[in-house]
């Protein structure tokens, strides 16, 4: 087969779950498939252009023979919708894989199978957390993509159910393929770790992440916990839409000096944050998958997460679940880990065992089966 993949997400500066997925699934396909021809498309002018993500992937794949990154002659706006269709018509692939929930503006040729990945439908479930423009565009592109696709990949059963509910998709058209866990980076030689015990959250700062309730829970803990008087709350990630409300909540807290906004960090420094955390917390109101949870688990960090969407599904009984709408319940579950070393050690081992079940190579094998239409 000739398989076309849109890897344009790798040209974006910010680190997102979709970017991680694109990078890891393509890299894993490069490790397992020597038979099919792959053309990878990106709005990337040349090999000399500075883009660490594209350059790193190119260095991994360029010696394989069956993988080629097709760079653009011009750096164009709306590349995915206007330029990519020209590339597809010229190269005539058997399969077009869009690891994002959109497709190019083209009349679908009968001899091309289109596979898309829908990561989440948060814009439909929590519309108040999106701008009017973003809601319109996300719904427009997602609806069009799920209608045109021959197969849809969902990262969780929860997302599959959402697709069926909101878009009335035939469940046989959707395959659930869990993400893997990124490789454990070696720790850097620089001393990046916080000089105090800390609770860790990783993700973009936005309303859906429910960080205001996490801060409230942290305040409850600081009031009552005597075991860790220097306890910190570390929030790693860049600011998203409406992030100011979270920053303001932290600034007004009487424990504001103990709430640390780490900001965006490199993968290697993020590894250090994971490894030295007492507890990892994901209080999101909704997640299509929740990669940071599994990343934390891969370092043996005990996890407390929301009992909703995909989070309860991927964590199951390997972490503690709480009501995302209750600051008190969030505080109680975190405190269970803080106050009980035996329990924390038990769930550290559970985290490691659970993380082993999520493997990018296995994800790539299942994805390759869908490319060959073995599931149709």
pLDDT at 92: 93
pLDDT at 192: 55
| Structural domain containing residue 253 | 198-355
pLDDT at 265: 85
Same domain, 20 and 125: yes
pLDDT at 50: 46
Same domain, 175 and 253: no
Do the domain assignments include residue 9?
yes
Q: Considering the entire predicted model, what is its pTM?
A: 0.91
- Give, for all 376 residues of the chain, the pLDDT tens digit: 999 999 999 888 777 889 999 999 999 999 999 999 999 998 876 554 445 678 778 777 878 889 998 876 666 778 888 889 989 999 999 999 999 999 998 887 788 999 999 999 999 999 998 989 999 999 999 999 999 999 999 999 999 999 999 999 999 999 999 999 976 655 554 555 577 899 999 999 999 999 999 999 999 999 998 899 999 999 999 988 889 999 999 999 999 999 999 998 887 788 899 999 999 999 999 999 999 999 999 999 999 999 999 999 999 999 999 999 999 999 999 999 999 999 999 999 999 999 999 999 999 999 999 999 754 4
Which residue shows structure tokens 């800390």? 198
Dist CA 310 CA 286 (whole Å): 8
Do the domain assignments include residue 170?
yes
Same domain, 363 and 348: no
Dist CA 30 CA 4 (whole Å): 13
Do the domain assignments include residue 134?
yes
> If you write DSSP's letter for every residue of 234-297 in order, what string do you get?
EEES-B-TTTHHHHHHHHHSTTGGGEEEEES--HHHHHHHHHH-SEEEE--S--SS-HHHHHHH
Same domain, 127 and 97: yes
pLDDT at 45: 64
pLDDT at 63: 81
Q: How many CB atoms neighbour CB 275 within 10 A?
A: 16
Same domain, 303 and 174: no
Dist CA 120 CA 47 (whole Å): 33
pLDDT at 108: 78
Same domain, 243 and 366: no
Same domain, 9 and 143: yes
Q: Do 251 and 207 form a contact (C-beta atoms < 8 A)?
A: no
Do the domain assignments include residue 284?
yes
Same domain, 83 and 205: no
Same domain, 268 and 364: no
Q: What is the DSSP letter of 107?
A: P
Same domain, 160 and 222: no
CATH at 270: 3.40.50.2000
> What are the angstrom distances between the C-alpha of 361 and each of 32, 354, 364?
8, 16, 5
pLDDT at 107: 81
Do the domain assignments include residue 324?
yes
Same domain, 167 and 207: no
Do the domain assignments include residue 376?
no
pLDDT at 12: 81
The total domain count for the chain is 2
Question: CA angle at residue 324 from 320 to 302, to 5 degrees?
Answer: 25
Do the domain assignments include residue 188?
no
pLDDT at 48: 47
Same domain, 351 and 363: no
Do the domain assignments include residue 135?
yes
Q: What is the DSSP letter of 51?
A: -
pLDDT at 375: 45
């Amino acid at each position: 087969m000739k398989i076309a993949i849109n890897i344009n997400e790798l040209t974006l500066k910010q680190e997102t779950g979709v970017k991680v997925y694109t990078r890891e699934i393509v890299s894993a396909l490069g490790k397992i498939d020597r038979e099919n021809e792959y053309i990878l498309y990106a709005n990337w002018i040349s090999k000399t252009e500075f883009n660490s993500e594209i350059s790193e992937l190119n260095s991994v794949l360029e010696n394989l023979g069956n993988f080629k990154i097709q760079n653009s002659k011009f750096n164009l706006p709306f590349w995915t919708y206007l330029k990519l269709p020209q590339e597809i018509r010229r190269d005539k692939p058997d399969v077009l894989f869009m690891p994002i929930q959109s497709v190019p503006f083209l009349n679908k040729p009968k001899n091309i199978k289109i596979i898309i990945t829908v990561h989440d439908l948060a814009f439909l479930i929590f519309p108040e957390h999106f701008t009017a423009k973003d809601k319109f565009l996300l719904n427009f592109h997602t609806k069009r993509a799920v209608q045109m696709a021959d197969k849809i990949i969902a990262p969780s059963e929860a997302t599959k159910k959402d697709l069926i509910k909101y878009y009335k998709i035939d469940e046989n058209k959707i395959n659930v393929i869990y993400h893997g866990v990124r490789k454990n980076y070696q720790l850097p030689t620089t001393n990046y770790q916080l000089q105090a015990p800390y609770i860790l959250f990783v993700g973009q700062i936005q309303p859906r992440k429910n960080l205001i309730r996490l801060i409230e829970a942290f305040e409850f803990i600081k009031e009552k916990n005597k075991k860790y008087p220097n306890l910190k709350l570390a929030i790693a990630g860049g600011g998203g839409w409406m992030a100011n409300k979270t920053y303001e909540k932290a600034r007004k807290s009487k424990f504001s000096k103990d709430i640390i906004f780490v900001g965006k960090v490199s993968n290697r420094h993020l590894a250090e944050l994971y490894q030295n955390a007492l507890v990892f917390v994901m209080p999101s109101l909704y997640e299509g998958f929740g990669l940071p949870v599994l990343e934390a688990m891969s370092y043996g960090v005990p996890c407390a997460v929301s009992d909703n969407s995909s989070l309860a599904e991927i964590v199951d009984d390997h972490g503690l679940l709480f009501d995302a709408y209750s600051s008190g319940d969030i505080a109680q579950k975190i405190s269970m880990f803080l106050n009980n070393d035996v329990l924390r050690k038990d769930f550290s081992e559970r985290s490691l065992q659970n993380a082993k079940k999520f493997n990018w190579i296995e994800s790539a094998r299942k994805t390759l089966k869908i490319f060959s239409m073995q599931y149709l």
